[in-house]
A and B are shown apart, each in its own frame.
Chain A
C-alpha cells in the first residue's frame, strides 16, 4: 500500500542504530535495546528470539510504531515507521487474540476493513477469503468466547491479513497455546505465509519454534537488549511435519542454543 518503487534488493524493513530507553531520566531507567541494526527483506520470515527482557517485543513494537525509539530510525519501504503505520503496512497479532467480544468471528475479521472504509462488497469478499484461508468458514457467526484458544488465534491472524498488509508482526502469537495446537498453528502459519508472500517478523522464546518457522533467526540477549547473532535456517521449504525429525533441524536448534548459552556464560548475573 502506498509504497513507491525501490531499488532491487533494498530491504523492506531497515532498523538503523535503534535504541530504546524506558523511564529516561528516572531512577527506574531501563535500557531495553541498544544500537540495533537489522535489515529484513521482502518475503522473509524472521524470528526475534531471546530470553524474557531481551527487548524482542520492544523491537517488534518499534517496527510497528506502537512505540517510538529513543534514538535511531526504523524505515519501512524507505518510509519512517509512523508513516508506514498510517499507510497501513502492518498487520499485528499479539499473544492474546484480542478479539472483540461483541463481534462475531466474521465481524472481527472485518474490523480493519471497516476502519479503512472498504466498500461493503469488498469487505464481505475479503472476510470470506480470509476465513477460508484459516479454515474457519463454518464459524463465521460464532462469538469469540465460543471458540478454542487456537481458533481465536486463527481469527486474529485472519483479521491481521484482511487488508493485505505488506508486513505481519507477530508477538508470541502461539505462546498461550498447548504444544499440540501450537505445532499445528505453526504449520498453518507457514502455509499462509507461502500463499500470501507476506513478510513476517515473529517474536518467540521457543527455540524449536523459531528454527522451524524462520528463514533467519535473530538471537538476542538481555540487559541491555542486543542482537548477538543472526542464524540462517536453510531447511528445505515447504517445511512439513517431518522437518522436525530432520537431523539438520536438530543441528540448527543446537546452533541457536549454543549461541544463547555463550551469552549466559559471559553474563555474570545469570
Chain B
C-alpha cells in the first residue's frame, strides 16, 4: 500500500479502475487457468487411451461427460439433498460460533477457559464422529449430517470471530473511550467491523469444509437420495463414471457455495475487498 505524502496531489483518485476495465482484466486472468484445464482434460483422455487403462479404473473424461448427462436427473437432486445438509449445518455452526464468540469476547473468563479447548478440538478430525452422530439421529436423518457439519464449522468461526473481536487497535479503543462511548457502541462501532474480515475468512474455509463434511458423513451411511451415499455405492459397484459424475456435481456445488460467500463478503464489506486489492 503506497501512502503518497504530498498533500496537494489529487491522491489516488483514479485508484480504482473503471468497472469495464476491471472486467476485461479479470477475464484475461482466467485465460491461463482455462488453458490448463483444457490441457489437463486432453492429457487425461490421451493417457487413458495410450496406456489402455481399464474404463472401470479411470474412465475417460468423454465417458464421464456422457454418463454425467445421462445420470444428471439422479445426481442433481442428490447434490441438492446433500447441499441442504451442508448449508443447514453451515448456518447452524456459524450462528452458534458467532454467539459463543460474542460471549467469550464479553466475558474474558469464558474465553480463557474455553479457547485452548476450542483450538485443540479444531485440529481434530471431527468427521470421525460421523458414525456416532448417525446412531444418535438415525442413519437417514439429515439432522445427523447437519450436526456434523455444524460442529466442523463451529470451531473455525468461533476462534476467528474471537480473534477479530479482541485484536482491535488500541488507539481505536482509546478514541471511543475519549468519547465516553458505552460498551454497546464499542462492540458495534469497532469490535464487530474489525471482526468481519476474520469472520469471512472463516466462512470461506468453512463453506468448503461443510460440503466435505456432509459428503464424508454420508459415506458412513445415509438416505438413498444423498450424494455421498450414491458415490460410495457406485464406487463399490465399480461404476466409476457414475461416481465421477456425482463428484462433478459436488465440485460445482462447492464452488457455487464458496462463490456466494465471496459475493456476500463483497456486499457486506466493500472497503475490505478493495483494500486487499490495493495491497496485492
Residues of A at the B interface (CB closer than 8 Å) are: 64, 66, 85-88, 90-92, 94, 96, 98, 100-103, 111-112, 114-116, 139, 142-143, 145-151, 163, 177-178, 181, 184
Nearest to A178 among chain B residues (CB) is: B5
> B129 at the A/B interface (Cβ < 8 Å)?
no
Number of residue pairs A-B, CB distance < 8 angstroms: 83
Closest Cβ–Cβ distance, residue A58 to chain B (whole Å)? 14
> B11 at the A/B interface (Cβ < 8 Å)?
yes
B179 touches A143 (CB 8 A): no
Closest Cβ–Cβ distance, residue B40 to chain A (whole Å)? 39
Q: Please measure, in the bound complex, the distance between the C-alpha atom of A147 and the C-alpha atom of B178, giving whole angstroms.
A: 24
Contacts of B13 in A (CB 8 A): 142
B172 touches A100 (CB 8 A): yes
Closest Cβ–Cβ distance, residue B195 to chain A (whole Å)? 11
Q: Kindly identify, within residues 163 to 208 of chain B, every residue whose CB is under 8 Å from any CB belonging to chain A.
A: 169, 171-172, 174-181, 185, 189-190, 193, 196
B178 touches A148 (CB 8 A): no
> B4 at the A/B interface (Cβ < 8 Å)?
yes
Residues of B at the A interface (CB closer than 8 Å) are: 1, 3-7, 9, 11-13, 15, 169, 171-172, 174-181, 185, 189-190, 193, 196, 269, 271-272, 274-275, 278
Q: Please measure, in the bound complex, the distance between the C-alpha atom of A114 and the C-alpha atom of B184, giving whole angstroms.
A: 12
In the complex with contacts A88-B180, A101-B272, A143-B275, A148-B3 CB distance below 8 A: yes
In the complex with contacts A148-B11, A151-B7, A181-B5, A101-B275 CB distance below 8 A: yes
Closest Cβ–Cβ distance, residue B276 to chain A (whole Å)? 11
Contacts of B177 in A (CB 8 A): 66, 85
B180 touches A92 (CB 8 A): no
A143: which of B175, B185, B271 is its contact (CB, 8 Å)? B271
Contacts of A102 in B (CB 8 A): 193, 196, 269, 271-272
In the complex with contacts A115-B185, A145-B1, A151-B272 CB distance below 8 A: no
What are 13 inter-chain pairs, A to B, with CB distance below 8 A?
A66-B178, A88-B179, A92-B175, A94-B175, A111-B189, A112-B179, A115-B176, A142-B13, A148-B7, A148-B9, A149-B5, A150-B5, A181-B6
Best-surrounded residue of B7, B12, B171 (most CB of chain A within 10 A): B7
